[in-house]
A and B are shown apart, each in its own frame.
Chain A
Amino acid sequence: MTELTAKTIAELREGFRSGEFSAREVAEAYNDAVASARALNAYTVETPEDALAAADAADKARGSGEFGSLAGIPLGIKDLFATRGVASTAGSRILTGFKPPYESTVTANLRKAGAGMLGKLNMDEFAMGSSNETSAYGPVLSPWRRQGSNVGLTPGGSSGGSSAAVAANIAAGATGTDTGGSIRQPAAFTGISGIKPTYGRCSRWGVVAFASSLDQAGPMAKSVRDCAILLEAMAGFDPKDSTSLDLPVPPWEANLSSDLRGKRVGIPKEYRIDGVPGDINALWDRGIDWLKDAGATPVEISLPHTKYALPTYYIIAPAEASSNLARYDGVRYGLRDTPEGGNLDAMYSATRADGFGEEVKRRIMIGTYVLSAGFYDAYFTKAQKVRALIKEDFRKAFEQCDIILTPTAPSAAFGIGETTDPLAMYLNDVFAVPASLAGLPAMSVPGGLDEQGLPLGLHLIGNELDEQTVLNAGLAIEERAGFTAKPDKWW
């Protein structure tokens, strides 16, 4: 029998239903694995009793046949999600000790489906980062290492705890959130799958806000099927989120099919950029062949405003962040720092100076500047106009194709501390950000290893609301890539 923690969610579901093992056995195996993997720094809080309680409920319900789609499946929850009574700090010092008296809609949906929580997963502070190095809890280490090297690598970010946990078999699956690539880039860096659905599919209620017009939750898991299973449970209309889509959740798992006959795969010429390693372009070409093999027809497409996506993002996201993060004022929750004899204003400024890390401060400063009197039109309005053009690029492209294939990231995982220039770090999301700006569903699936033995991902972008074609193309790649590599256990 395969070790329980090595199984996919689909396999765990099958084994639980057939009685091959109990949900409690699964939860115990995972709790042990979590406790023995602290060297990865993937969890900020461990909640083994939560996982066991959900497992016991699942075992009790099994006889009755009335249990949810995720009965007894132990998940890791990104620390951006509010979880009732369990510290929820968004990787920030400013939320030290914050225990929400409420539960986010997405995690409530997962619990309703029977899932248990193993703990809260480390992340870049307020999801601002691409390497997990901005977390107040210190960086997560990727379970992967370069061949013959002990250098600590990043698991990507901002959902780096999530990606490391799934890759290291210390969570059966995990929630992530994606504002500008934060599910897809870490999935690519760690050889797992992750999907960001169409903006509005998953409720943002109870998810700590970074850039509200971009933030979307999504699953990260060992397989495309697992992503479909999790996404079905996470998604759904929520009146508490004003931009939640009032649409039924499609049966994505039941409709999974890797038969892509009749589908056209767009290959955007603007994504062939300088400085991308040959391994990544070679994998992209193999991806095209795999989709052809599945019956799809490749077509060259043009997304002319691609090169402007990152600068657009780095106006809009900090602008929204500077507004959203105004709520951290030391009054209602989290940290408070009052200088001796200081007034209210001094308390605000000291609390925020003390509570926010460097990258968060940098983005609040940029956001405050681009929204300030005299600069608003030149920066923010201009960026929203370019964003409209980027959206229009995709609208036109989807007249010519049904799905778009690109690499997920312009590099494999890099070392902790290797990228110190903020701009160089931002460039890591060059392929991921355009789909975020356009609100489109997009997924990373593992495609192979590079010459250093590190995973590389392929990126699929679908039309609005067409998660199904994204998942189906992902499945077609998964079946053909035969990606079974796992990191050697050193932790």
Chain B
Amino acid sequence: MSVTNEQVRHIARLARIAMSDEELERLVPELNNILDWVEQLGEVNTDGVEPLTAVIDQKLRLRDDVVNDGNIRDDILLNAPEAQHGFFTVPKVIE
């Protein structure tokens, strides 16, 4: 499988990365090189193999359903590029 210019544009859109036409054109062969190379996994017979989910066998723990933090609004907003009235602010989303 190889990717086209249009597909790469679509992936960039899904990944929310703005890209110029030149950048896209440069990326197409780079991505195709890498994708061609990973294609070799097709040689491996994986019939009946369960995909790995945990690299070291362990059960996911459940914690008690209790509030264990909170009241740290100012800490959370400390690094916000823009915050107002105790909230993160973003460009207007509702017209």
Tell me the A residues contacting B by CB distance below 8 Å.
97-102, 198-200, 213-214, 239, 242-243, 245-246, 305, 307-308, 311-312, 314-315, 322, 326, 329-336, 338, 342-350, 352-353, 356, 361-362, 364-366, 368-369, 372, 375, 378-379, 381-389, 391, 422-423, 437-439, 464
Contacts and interface: CB of A to CB of B under 8 A. Distances in A.
B66 interface: no
Contacts of B55: 199, 213-214, 391, 437-439
A322 B91 contact: no
A352 B46 contact: no
Given A345-B16, A437-B55, 20 more contacts: A199-B55, A243-B54, A243-B58, A308-B44, A311-B38, A344-B90, A344-B93, A347-B90, A348-B16, A349-B16, A352-B17, A361-B27, A362-B34, A365-B8, A366-B34, A382-B41, A391-B52, A391-B55, A439-B55, A464-B56
16 contacts: A97-B79, A98-B79, A101-B79, A311-B37, A311-B38, A312-B41, A333-B79, A346-B18, A346-B91, A365-B12, A368-B15, A384-B51, A384-B52, A384-B53, A385-B50, A387-B52
A372 to B, nearest CB: 7
Interface string B20-64: 000000010011011101101111101001111111101011010
B67 interface: no
Nearest to B36: A423
A333 B82 CA distance: 9
Given A330-B81, A365-B12, A388-B50, A423 B33 contact: yes
Given A344-B93, A382-B46, A366 B31 contact: yes
B5 to A, nearest CB: 13
A410 B53 CA distance: 30
Contacts, number: 161
B46 to A, nearest CB: 4
B63 A239 contact: yes
A385 B63 CA distance: 30
A335 B82 CA distance: 10
Contact of B81 (A213, A336, A464): A336
Contacts of B51: 381, 384-385, 387-388
Interface of B: 1, 3, 7-8, 11-12, 14-19, 27, 30-31, 33-35, 37-38, 40-44, 46, 49-56, 58, 60-61, 63, 72, 75-76, 78-82, 88, 90-93
Of listed B7, B27, B51, residue having the most chain A CB within 10 A: B51
Contacts of B75: 101-102
Contact of A332 (B11, B14, B43, B88): B88
Nearest to A330: B81
Given A311-B38, A369-B31, A338 B88 contact: no
Main secondary structure of the interface of B (DSSP, over half): loop
Contacts of B58: 200, 243, 245
Contacts of B80: 331-333
A201 to B, nearest CB: 9
A438 B44 CA distance: 17
A438 B63 CA distance: 27
Contact of A379 (B11, B38, B53, B88): B38
Contact of A245 (B16, B37, B56): B56
Nearest to B26: A358
A99 B31 CA distance: 34
Contact of A198 (B41, B52, B56): B56
Nearest to B72: A101
B11 A334 contact: no
Contacts of A200: 56, 58
Nearest to B75: A101
Given A101-B75, A332-B80, A311 B17 contact: no
A320 to B, nearest CB: 12
A426 to B, nearest CB: 8
A242 B63 CA distance: 10
A451 to B, nearest CB: 31
A385 B60 CA distance: 21
A352 B91 contact: no
Contacts of B27: 361-362, 365
Contacts of A246: 61
Contact of B15 (A346, A364, A386): A364
A139 to B, nearest CB: 21
Given A311-B40, A314-B38, A378-B1, A365 B82 contact: no
Contacts of B19: 353
B18 A353 contact: yes
Nearest to A331: B88
A365 B49 contact: no
